[in-house]
Amino acid sequence: MKKALLATAASLAALVILIAAAVLAWQTLRSEDPGVASPVADPAQQIARGQYLARAGNCMACHTMRGGAAYAGGRPIATGFGTLYSSNITPDKETGIGKWSADDFWRALHHGRSRDGSFLYPAFPFTSYTKLTRDDTDALFAYLQSIPAVGRPDQEHALRFPYNQRFLLAGWRALFFEPGQYRPDARQSAQWNRGAYLTQGLGHCAACHSARNGLGASVSPLQLAGGMIPGLDWYAPPLNGDRANGLGDWEDAHLEALLKTGVSPRGAVFGPMAEVVGRSLQHLDEPDIAAMATYLKSLPPADAMPRATAQQPAPAEAERIMKLGKQLYGDLCVDCHSARGQGSVPDYPPLNGNRAVAGASAVNAIRIVLNGGYPPSTAGNPYPFGMPPFGPRLSDQEVAAVVSYIRNSWDNHAGFVSPSEVNRYRSVPLD
């Protein structure tokens, strides 16, 4: 009962804040920048450019439901406020964007407004896409208009009150959104600026790699300090230059390999990031991958996600857990990851010094031990080796012990994991 009352009070407080901000937003509504479209000399080249940009932005991932037609929408997007369903962006005239103009499309990406003027929910990352140039949004639109039309009506969102009241998005925008294209930093190189443009804009990296506030807005999105991915129960680690928690001590070649192939001498990608690499990043050309790596490594350190505050075991209990964990590691893990946790690149990622394992959050390690998983199949790593699921074989206590052992062995110095933490994720699917 107490939790229900607190949730109701929080919803009412959010409603008051959003209404007040919405009133302010309507009173100070600015005219929208229409952008300036450039003449198109070669339509085929523009479409090809748009296809590349669609891959760079991983548009298909959200706008394609499992087993459905490409870009026809319908994929559920879980949030803390309910479930949204992606829209049909094929050129179908009745259910897609076949009646849209390039100006309408620019308005959606740059201003977060639909063709009819309604506000778009920020699950669609217009807060990042607003940085795109008009030429790039026009190329994206040209490509989407060239793909097969699919007649699939959009599904109504399933959001809780008051978040299902779309007019309140005016308040959200007044608080958290400022439209504006990316402006190159004259103090930086062309490569750095290209990486910043891709990372801040089309790549919308902050959507996952930044924490969210109580109203779902990214906190300090340019810092990329890491955070839990809303609705997915995965932790996206810091992508800044912090040497302790981020990418500061990574070699450029290792980071570029991770982005391009999904595996590197420092680790491998699993979960949502495997989809990003498989569907998006592997298709980027080498200069763009290098530009993103250059930009990410240049970001200054930021406050990382705090470690779990769960009570750590007493010395005697910690010794018992580590002994059990070491035994399980020797039985199940050592053949692939080696006695010192160094792994065997590219097939088996290292565990020693791997911040996906020994970082601020243990959730990724827990889920991989429970459910297993694979890096993506990419041109640079077409036949990835996978991690078998140990959830059916191990108890919560045993999973907690082996994860705790890995997080506190060799050069790793992270917190212990409790059986209750393991149990929380035992029934959560990989995606």
Does residue 103 lie in a domain region? yes
Does residue 304 lie in a domain region? no
- Strand 158-159 vs strand 82-85: parallel, antiparallel, or unpaired? antiparallel
Q: Are residue 32 and residue 169 in the same domain, yes or no?
A: yes
Cis status, amide bond into 346, omega within 30 of 0: yes
Q: Are residue 220 and residue 277 in the same domain, yes or no?
A: yes
- Average pLDDT, whole number, for the chain? 90
Asked if 370 contacts 242 with a C-beta cutoff of 8 angstroms, the reply is no
- Per-residue pLDDT, 260: 98
Is 50 exceeded by the pLDDT of residue 391?
Answer: yes
Is 70 exceeded by the pLDDT of residue 13?
Answer: no
Q: Are residue 83 and residue 126 in the same domain, yes or no?
A: yes
| Nearest-angstrom CA–CA distance, 305 and 238 | 9
Does residue 395 lie in a domain region? yes
- Per-residue pLDDT, 1: 47
CATH code of the domain in which 324 resides: 1.10.760.10
- Per-residue pLDDT, 4: 47
- Per-residue pLDDT, 23: 52
Asked if 22 contacts 119 with a C-beta cutoff of 8 angstroms, the reply is no
- Per-residue pLDDT, 305: 52
CATH code of the domain in which 258 resides: 1.10.760
Q: Which helix (H) or strand (E) element contains residue 43? A: helix 43-56
Q: Which domain holds residue 265?
A: 190-298
Tokens standing for residue 263: 């595996």
Please choose, from the candidates 398, 404, 388, 397, the residue with its C-alpha nearest in 3D space to the C-alpha of residue 419. Answer: 397
Q: Using the 8-state DSSP alphabet, how is residue 326 labeled?
A: H
| Nearest-angstrom CA–CA distance, 160 and 83 | 9
What are the C-alpha distances in Å from 87 to residues 72, 103, 154, 298? 7, 18, 6, 36
- Per-residue pLDDT, 9: 47
Is 60 exceeded by the pLDDT of residue 184?
Answer: yes
Does residue 231 lie in a domain region? yes
| Nearest-angstrom CA–CA distance, 148 and 127 | 28
Does residue 168 lie in a domain region? yes
Q: Are residue 46 and residue 89 in the same domain, yes or no?
A: yes
- Of 176, 205, 234, the one marking the end of a domain is 176
Q: Are residue 157 and residue 46 in the same domain, yes or no?
A: yes
- Per-residue pLDDT, 5: 46
- Of 176, 198, 219, the one marking the end of a domain is 176
Residues paired with residue 226 on neighbouring β-strands, in sequence order: 210
Q: Are residue 271 and residue 344 in the same domain, yes or no?
A: no
Q: Are residue 407 and residue 278 in the same domain, yes or no?
A: no
- Per-residue pLDDT, 303: 64
Q: Are residue 76 and residue 50 in the same domain, yes or no?
A: yes
pLDDT (tens digit per residue) in 65-87? 999 999 999 999 999 899 999 99
Does residue 152 lie in a domain region? yes
- Per-residue pLDDT, 107: 97
- The region of weakest confidence among 132-141, 168-177, 395-404, 422-431 is 422-431
pLDDT (tens digit per residue) in 220-229? 999 999 999 9
Q: Are residue 50 and residue 155 in the same domain, yes or no?
A: yes
Does residue 75 lie in a domain region? yes
CA dihedral 59, 61, 63, 66 (to 10 degrees): 160
Q: Are residue 54 and residue 150 in the same domain, yes or no?
A: yes
Q: Are residue 31 and residue 135 in the same domain, yes or no?
A: yes
Q: Are residue 97 and residue 228 in the same domain, yes or no?
A: no
Asked if 216 contacts 159 with a C-beta cutoff of 8 angstroms, the reply is no
- Of 298, 328, 354, the one marking the end of a domain is 298
pLDDT (tens digit per residue) in 146-164? 999 999 999 999 999 999 9
- Per-residue pLDDT, 19: 61
How many domains does the structure of the chain reveal?
Answer: 3
Please choose, from the candidates 211, 248, 36, 221, the residue with its C-alpha nearest in 3D space to the C-alpha of residue 127. Answer: 221
Asked if 324 contacts 408 with a C-beta cutoff of 8 angstroms, the reply is no
Helices first, then strands: H and E counts in the chain: 18, 7
Residues paired with residue 387 on neighbouring β-strands, in sequence order: 373
What's the rounded mean pLDDT across residues 361-383?
A: 94
Does residue 211 lie in a domain region? yes
CA dihedral 311, 312, 314, 317 (to 10 degrees): 120
- Per-residue pLDDT, 280: 97
What confidence tier does 350 reach under pLDDT thresholds 50, 70, 90? very high
